[in-house]
Amino acid sequence: MVFGHNSNLKIGAVTLHVQTEDRGVAHGLIDTTVYYQGRVLHRRTNNYLDLLPLNDDREQALKLRLDEQHRRVVEEIRSGALQLNIPPAAANPSLHGQEKLAAAEVAKPPAGSHPQRLLLELTNSKSWMSGKHARLQILVREENGGPVSGAQVLVEIEGSDNGQIHGAETSPQGLTLIEFDMPHISSPEAALLIRAEHRSGAGQLRFALRAKTRVPSL
């Protein structure tokens, strides 16, 4: 079973998104990331190899451990114990900046609603990489096929040296473009991970990356 938490924190005029997730037994990691407008400000990762293989009791211990890591990071942000490098323009934003920040915030679903599974598609899956440059065209849709506007899309290369996460928002047509230079791959189990979050739900894609091909394959 995979556990996770998402929280939005308003610090002055800035809204931060804190996400903690279990990366699955294949990785054995609890990963907490603090985002501002898709930019990673802080990342904390701890393994739970001592709990593997999981059983009912160890799953409960894993959930408690994940809950505690998420709570600790949130409290450190609120107390100021965790110093974050927030862009200067965000610390004293204009009204336009505040509006932009509000649009970027990943809101929680309304009370009583049931988050849906968002459908992601890498529309240029055969040509997303040119040399060492990645150019991902991503479409985010609702389960009924309708486009999702304003979803936060995050891209990460698992098994790379730098662990950077790249983010962008979808257009009214549910489309976004994310470009970056590919990092050095240091793991034989490297993968391209694409995640989308929106107040209506969330979804993700994961493609294995093979050393002898430039195209991700399932």
Per residue of the chain (218 residues), give pLDDT as tens.
556 888 888 888 888 989 899 988 888 899 999 988 777 889 999 999 999 999 999 999 999 999 999 999 999 999 989 989 887 655 544 434 333 333 333 334 444 455 688 999 999 998 999 888 999 999 999 989 999 998 889 898 888 877 678 888 899 999 999 998 888 888 888 889 999 988 888 899 988 887 544 444 44
Phi then psi for residue 203, to 5 deg, are: -165, 170
pLDDT for res 76: 93
Predicted pLDDT of residue 160: 82
Q: Which two tokens stand for residue 100?
A: 């932009």
Q: DSSP alpha helices (H): ranges in the chain?
A: 56-79, 88-91, 95-104
Q: Please answer whether residues 167 and 120 qualify as being in contact, where contact means their C-beta atoms are separated by less than 8 angstroms.
A: no
| Domains in the chain, CATH or no CATH each | 4-104 (3.30.1450), 116-208 (2.60.40.10)
Contact 143, 124 (CB under 8 A): no
d(CA 28, CA 132) in angstroms, rounded, equals 29
Q: What's residue 148's pLDDT?
A: 93
pTM: 0.52
**Per-residue model confidence (pLDDT) at position 152:** 86
